[in-house]
Amino acid sequence: MKNAAFPKLLLKWHKEINNRQMPWKGELNPYKVWLSEIILQQTRVAQGTAYYENFIKAFPDIFCLAKAKDEKVYKLWEGLGYYSRCKNMLATARFIAFENDGQFPESYEGLIQLKGIGPYTAAAISSFCFALPIPVIDGNVYRVLARIFKIKISPDTTEGKKYFASLATGLIDRKKPGDYNQAIMDFGATVCKPLLPLCEHCIFNKYCGAFLEKNVLAYPVKIKKIIKRERWFTWFLFQQNEKIFIQKRASKDIWENLCEFYLVETGKPLNWTRPAVRKFLAEKLDVSGAAEIRIHKTAKQTLTHQLIHAVFIEIELSHPVHIQTTNEGKWISRKELTETSFPVIIRNHLANSIMLS
């Protein structure tokens, strides 16, 4: 297929056929575009839409977000994962609001200097809000271009990234960069899908190299396989006189800035029994007086690069104790528990906890 024909056909599809609806679609406000892009990093549109709407309702502009308390923002983010996004989002909001008069940089180079904004997000804001001809490049774009132009180079390689970036830059419609970027993202999400592409109804099927080769699912070429790191967590949920002990998650790790219960991480699964729990409490924490111990079945949570195995052990204490921890620890009420930000795996346990029902 000739390069010049690609953007014309794509924009024709976008104008006449594309009916994908999203609340931020067509938005020109940099704050709203930025917020939607940060939320959609590592998050599906179906899941991210409600979060976007809740954030806009709670923080209608960048100044409202910048002035918000961290805990309120993290609570609203709860369930989205990749909490470094939320941390960087707050840092950028405060920089723009307090140091840049609430104005986003109007250049790609300026945008990419902000925390949490990478090439894709900078390209999206640049093209949608400032009409700059900077192509967005993500998994959808790699897939569309790889199939149509039958590209044998993997986008997982340095050579592949450079090749796709060069091709994408040459293809973008310079008069309508925002429409073009929106079109190619929507096309990849609704037509040129990963496993069930709608090839029979595709406007490119007369030109698509992968379709004509009858080998669509072989593109884009993949060479990297993610190896997940397995981790074993035991969370001790201490309760005494309607108070529950929590602590801050360690920095530079998953779920940074969220809260958790007292944690013991081991390199392999442990066979916890009530005698083993009592022995651990006495020897490691100098805690006695566990009136009741409940050991729950192992729960799992799959992250992009990690598989978490978690055991929750609920402990009713008969008298006040001091829990020794290197993290920020404190006792809170049940009401405060519902207002505190936890990882999803902990929040799911709390929803089904007998002790807290």
For residue 126, the tally of other CB atoms under 10 A from its CB is 29
pLDDT cut 70: percent of the chain above it: 99
27, 37, 78, 265: the active-site residue: 37
123 contact partners, CB below 8 Å, separation of at least 6: 108, 134, 135, 136, 137, 181
**108: CATH:** 1.10.340.30
Q: Write the pLDDT tens digit of every residue in 294-335.
A: 999 999 999 888 999 999 999 999 888 888 887 889 999 988
Instruction: Tell which of 187, 218, 249 closes a domain.
Output: 218
Residue 306 pairs with which residues in a beta bridge?
A: 229
The residue among 128, 132, 120, 129 whose CA lies nearest residue 178 is 128
Q: Count the Cβ atoms, other than its own, within 10 Å of residue 294.
A: 15
Does position 1 have pLDDT exceeding 70, yes or no? no
Question: Once rounded to an integer, what is the mean pLDDT over residues 108-119?
Answer: 96
* Residues 6+ positions from 231 with CB-CB distance below 8 Å: 265, 306, 307, 308, 309
Q: Are residues 130 and 243 in the same domain?
A: no
Are 212 and 240 found together in one domain? no
Number of other CB atoms surrounding residue 50 within 10 Å: 12
Cis check for the bond before 220: say yes or no (omega within 30 of 0). yes
119 and 196 together in one domain = yes
pLDDT tens digit sequence for 61-81: 999 999 999 999 999 999 888
Is residue 193 a contact partner of residue 185, using CB atoms and an 8 Å limit?
no
Domain of residue 201 covers 5-218
Residue at 223 is within a domain:
no
Domain co-membership, 256 together with 321: yes
Considering the domain architecture, whether residues 50 and 191 belong to the same structural domain is answered as yes
For residue 356, being part of any structural domain is answered with no
**How many domains does the chain fold into?**
2
Q: Is residue 79 part of a domain?
A: yes
| Residue 73 and residue 31 share a domain | yes
Let me know: does 86 contact 35? Beta carbons within 8 Å. Answer: no
Is 255 part of any domain? Answer: yes
Count the residues in the chain: 357
My answer on whether 271 and 213 are in the same domain is: no
List Cβ<8 Å contacts ≥24 apart for 82-88: 82/41, 82/42, 82/43, 83/254, 83/255, 83/256, 83/257, 83/258, 84/116, 84/256, 85/38, 85/39, 85/41, 85/42, 85/116, 86/257, 87/256, 87/257, 88/38, 88/115, 88/116
Structure confidence at residue 231 as a pLDDT band (50, 70, 90): very high
Task: For residues 124 and 211, state if they share a domain.
Answer: yes
Active-site residue, 37 included: yes
Strand (E) positions, 54-210? Answer: none
Confidence class for position 118, pLDDT limits 50, 70, 90: very high
* 139 and 248 fall within a common domain: no
Q: Are residues 108 and 197 in the same domain?
A: yes
Q: Which of 235, 125, 241, 232 is nearest to 177 (CA)?
A: 125
Residue with tokens 């986003």: 104
Tell me the average pLDDT of the chain.
Answer: 93
| Pair (263, 168) in one structural domain | no
Cβ atoms of 311 and 273 closer than 8 Å: no
pLDDT digits (tens, 9 = 90+) for 14-60: 999 999 999 999 999 999 999 999 999 888 899 999 999 999 999 99
Separation of alpha carbons 76 and 58, rounded Å: 9
